[in-house]
Chain A
Amino acid sequence: MLVFVTRRLLVALSVALTVSIVSFLLLHFSGDLATSIAGPDATAEQVEKIRVEFGLDQPIVEQYFHWLVSAVQLNFGRSYYFQDTVISLIRERLPITLTLGGLALGLAILVAIPLGVIAAIKQNTWIDRLALSFAVIGQAMPSFWFGLTLIIVFAVNLHWLPAGGNSSWQHFVLPAICLGYYAMPAMMRLTRTGMLEVLNSDYIRTARSKGLNESTVVLKHALRNAVIPVVALAAVELGFMLGGSVIVESVFSLRGLGQLAWDAISRNDYPVVQAVVLIIAVFYIALTFFADVLNALLDPRLRVR
C-alpha cells in the first residue's frame, strides 16, 4: 500500500509539473503580452518599458522557472487589473468556491448513491423509473435556468433563503442545490448500473447462500464493489465544479474562483489566469490522487499496481 501511495504521489507531481508548463506556455503563445498589458493606445516605448518591468524580455525558460519558484511559494505576483496581489485575490475567492463545490458534491453523493442503490434493487418498477426521470431532468435542465427558478421560488416568492451573496451559510443552500443537481445524474446512473451488475455476480449469490440479511448483502457485499467507479467520477466532478461553476456563481452573485477566472480572462490579466489555472489543476490532480487511494482502500486488487 505504501509503495502504491508513493508511486501515485510521484505520478501526481509529474502531472502537476507538466500542467504548469502547459499553462505557462499557452498564455505566452496567445499573443504579445506586453502589448496587451500596455493597452491599445500605448506607444512603442511604453510597451518596451512594460516588457522589461514584467520580465517579459527574458528567455522563456528563465521566465518559467522564475514564475514556478515564486508560484511554489504562493507568490503569483500582482494582478494587472485588480489593485491587489494575486494570492490575496485567490485567498478571498477560493474558500467560496470550495464551500460551494464541497456542499454541492456532498449533496450529490447523499442523494445519488442511495437513489442509485434503490433504483437498482427496484429495477424496472415505478421507483426505478421515477429515479431515472429525476436524473434525466437534472441532465436536461440548464443550470442557469434551474438557478433562476430556485431564486424565484425560494427567495422571491417564499422568502426562505437569500437570492445572492455569500455572507452566511444560507447563501450557499440554493447554489449548492443548483450545482449538486447538475452533478447528481451521472453519479446516480453509475451507481445504478454498477449495482445491477454487481447484484447479478456470483459472489452476491454466495453471500445470499450464507443466509445473510438482504441489507448485509446489498450494503456490505454489493455497494462497496459498485461504488468504485463512482469515487473516480465524484473526484472529476468536484474538480469540474471548482473550475466550471462560473454560471452558478454568477447567477447567485457568489464571487468565487470561477468569477475571478472569467474576469481575468476577459481582461488579459494573465498572472491571475495562470494562478487560477494552476490552482484548479493542482486540485484536480490532488482529487484524482485521493480517489485512487480511496479506490485502493475499497478494492484490494488495485493495491498491487
Chain B
Amino acid sequence: MKRILEVKNLQVDLPTANGTLRAVRGIDLHVNKGEMLCIVGESGCGKSMTSMALMGLLPKRAAITAEAMQFDGMDLLSLSKKERNQVRGMRMSMIFQEPMTSLNPSYTLGNQLCEGIIKHKGLSREKAKERAVYLLERAGVPYPEKRLNQYPHQLSGGLRQRVIIAMALMCEPDLIIADEPTTALDVTIQAQILRLIRELQQEFGTAVIFITHDLGVVARIADRVAVMYAGQVVETASAEALFANPLHPYTQGLLNCIPIPGKTKPGSHLASIPGVVPSLIGEFKGCAFENRCSVSTSECRRRTPNLAIKPSSADHQVRCPEVSLSFQEAV
C-alpha cells in the first residue's frame, strides 16, 4: 500500500517557565492512502501536539525536529511558508475538537466553506458554492443551500461539526487530521458524526488520522491504531490485532478500564491504572510507564526501550523490553 504520510523520530519541545517540556519524544508513524489511523492516548500524552506539528500549526515558541516528515514525497519541514500553506488546506485539512468555537462568528458559513477552495484552486464563487452545497448535503446538513447564508450561531453544535467536516473535504484532501472531533458533542450526536466520518472517508478514499482518548471509538472506526503514552508511541498495530492481542502493559491497562456490558458488575469499581503520568519537563531516562507498570523490572528504569517488531506480524510493534524479550524466546 502506498504511504501518504511518513514520520520518523518527530520531536516537539515547548519552553515553559520550569524548563523545556518534551511534549513529543520521538514519534514514528505512517499513514497509508485511504486508511484510518487512530492515535489513542490520555490527556497530555502529546497526541494533539503531534497533529499540530503535522499541520504546521504549532505555536511559534515550539521547537520541532524530525528525521523525516514526508507527505506524498514532499519533505514538510523543508517547505517554504508559502508552499506549506499550499499543502495545508488543499492536500491536508483538519477537523477540530470544538465545533462551537471553531467557526468565525462574523462570516457566513458559505464564505468560510468557500474561501479555501477559491484560494487554492482558483474556483469561481458559484462553482465553490456548488461544491459546498454538495458536501453539506453529503455531511447530512439539512437545507444546504440555505445554510450558506447563515451564521455559525444559528446552528447547533452537531450541525456545526458537520459543516466543519464538509469544510475539511472541500479541496479533496489526501489526508484529514481529526483531533477529537466528537469529544464536545452529545453521545447520540457522537455516534452519528463517527459514522459520518467513517462513511465519507471510505467514499472519498481520504486517509484520516483520528485522534481520540476513547478506545470505544477506536474499536468502531480504526484500520490501524497507535497508542501514545508520555510523548511516545508505545504500541502500534492493526485495530484487529490490537484489540485481540494487546501487548504493551499500558494498552492492556486501558482495555481493562473499559466496562463490558453483562460482564462488569453494576456498581462495582471500574478498573484503573494506578499512578500518574511522569513530568515530561527536562531529560527523561528509562521507560515512561515504568512507575505504573505491573511487569516493570529495575532494568526498565535505566534503559529507554525502543519499538520492537512482533515476529509474526511486521505491522505490530511495541515499546516494552519485557514484551520484546518474549519475542526473542518465541524465536
Contacts and interface: CB of A to CB of B under 8 A. Distances in A.
B201 interface: no
Contact of A202 (B89, B101, B153, B167): B101
A21 interface: no
Contacts of A202: 96, 98, 101-102
Interface string B93-115: 11010100111111100000001
Nearest to A209: B94
Contacts of B90: 211
A225 B105 contact: yes
A298 interface: yes
Contacts of B104: 203, 206-207, 221, 225
A300 B57 contact: no
B101 A209 contact: no
B62 to A, nearest CB: 14
A92 B174 CA distance: 69
Interface string A193-237: 000000001110111111111001000110011000000000000
Please report whether the interface of chain A is mostly helix, strand, loop or mixed according to DSSP.
helix
A300 B105 contact: yes
A210 B105 contact: no
Contacts of B84: 211
Contacts of B87: 211
A212 B102 contact: no
Interface residues of A, number: 21
Contact of B96 (A206, A216, A220, A298): A206
Contact of B102 (A203, A298, A299): A203
A120 to B, nearest CB: 14
Given A209-B55, A209-B93, A212-B116, A301 B103 contact: no
B105 A211 contact: no
Nearest to A304: B153
Given A206-B164, A210-B116, A211-B119, A298 B93 contact: no
Contact of A209 (B57, B103, B106, B153): B57
Contacts of A203: 101-105
Contacts of A205: 57, 96, 102
The 10 closest A-B pairs by CB, nearest first: A211-B89, A210-B116, A211-B88, A210-B89, A202-B101, A209-B94, A203-B104, A300-B151, A211-B85, A202-B102
Interface of B: 55, 57, 84-90, 93-94, 96, 98, 101-107, 115-116, 119-120, 151, 153, 164, 167
